Structure 1
Amino acid sequence: MELLRSLVWMDYKLAVLFAVVFPLGLLIWATVKQSEAIIRLLIIYWRVASLLAITVYLLIAAVPVGYVTSLAARILIPICLWFWVDLNEEIEDIPPKRPLKLCFSAWRWAVSIYMVAGAIAQISSLQCAAQPKAQIITNAFCRLWLEAPWRYKEILHGGFTEGFMAFIGIAGLIIYVTYFLYFVLIRLGKQGRSAISS
């Protein structure tokens, strides 16, 4: 169990690095360099990756659906990074030796591989999504995925109640799912794999 705990904590640390620090740095760099295609793809990335933040708030409150949203985010992030035909073509047209393109391409491949590997490794945690909250908290296996979010709450949200954290997570999830359904059912049919109006 200790090895698994170490792996889960390492996963959270890697997620901060790959899913927050690097793409934020790339977005600032792309903005300075006025690289429109990379900026647009990173904005799309942040919209999709916001599901990771929602997941943290759900897991702080031990809301079972948090295990599902965690896996969903890991699947959606690589898809959003490679889905857009027009952005892929524009990025491909950037001269290959430009440092921004090299760093962006390296990050895009690295985060995609990391997310896919993480999704495969996290499939076993889905059993926790089918359990009631009280059982999740007492189940040693399920608690492993709650420890890092609980630590995050202690550091940044110590004064807020678990109920308030659950409210933030559930409200965020409702907004996210509403936008996602709008995109899939309406926008995707109109614009296909073009990100022009995104």
Structure 2
Amino acid sequence: MDYRLAVIFTVILPLILLIWALVEKLEVITHLLIIYWRVASLLMITLYLMIAAIPIGFICAIASRILIPVSLWFWVDLNEEIEDMQPSPLKLTLTSWRWAITVYNAIGALIFLPSLRCAFFSAENLLADPGCRIWLDPPWMYKQIFHPGWNPPFLGFLAIVGLLIYVGCFAYFVVIRLGRQGRSATGN
């Protein structure tokens, strides 16, 4: 059920909101959603780490549940601009989605927290433990649907490369960009 909710809250709804914001030409909402998609890309990396049963995927899963809500509420300038916008269906939908995804991720992180122990298992123990394996079954079903002929270790390799790029970009943001811009998404 968690993976189904994740598809709705983290993929379908933000994609609809982004398209809607682009059609309405609302730059502030578009900017916020682009930031969201950059941060939420960790979810896709996590999915592919889980396909390959790489234990660090469990750390990525909890990190994404923390970083996504932070990315949606962190930016002072965007929050002020959204708050100052005239009431509209898009503003209401965006605000509702931000709260919903924040609550969803908070509850999800609490539920997932006991599974964080799986990040410290060997691959064999990870597969043998029912509490860990339950989190791997949906990614394996995803693989069967979207990558039936692909080798899980190769998908895991791609995920690790993606994770390294993600960590590099995140480190750049924290060390350099955050110091320069603070909590301003636009740098003003």
- Offset of 1:139 from its aligned partner? 1.1
Distance 1:123 1:51 in 2: 17
| Matching of residue 87 in structure 1 with residue 81 in structure 2 | no
* Unpaired stretches in structure 2, ≥5 consecutive residues: none
Distance 2:78 2:160 in 1: 32
Partner of 1:146: 136
* Secondary structure of residue in 2 paired with 1:164: helix
Match of residue 191, structure 1, among 177, 181, 188: 181
Aligned pairs, number: 188
Match of residue 25, structure 1, among 16, 33, 38: 16
Partner of 1:53: 44
Distance 1:160 1:109 in 2: 37
Partner of 1:166: 156
Q: Which amino acid aligns with 1:141?
A: G
Q: Percent identity?
A: 56
TM-score by length of 2: 0.98
Q: Which amino acid aligns with 2:92?
A: L
* Secondary structure of residue in 2 paired with 1:87: helix
Partner of 1:15: 6
Match of residue 136, structure 1, among 103, 126, 137: 126
| Matching of residue 68 in structure 1 with residue 34 in structure 2 | no
| Matching of residue 42 in structure 1 with residue 37 in structure 2 | no
Partner of 2:100: 110
1:77-111 deviations in whole A, cap 9, x for unaligned? 00000000000011011112x11001111001000
Q: Which amino acid aligns with 1:103?
A: T
* Unpaired stretches in structure 1, ≥5 consecutive residues: 1-9
TM-score by length of 1: 0.93
Q: What is the RMSD of the two structures over their aligned residues, measured on CA atoms? A: 1.0
Match of residue 169, structure 2, among 167, 179, 183: 179
Partner of 1:5: none
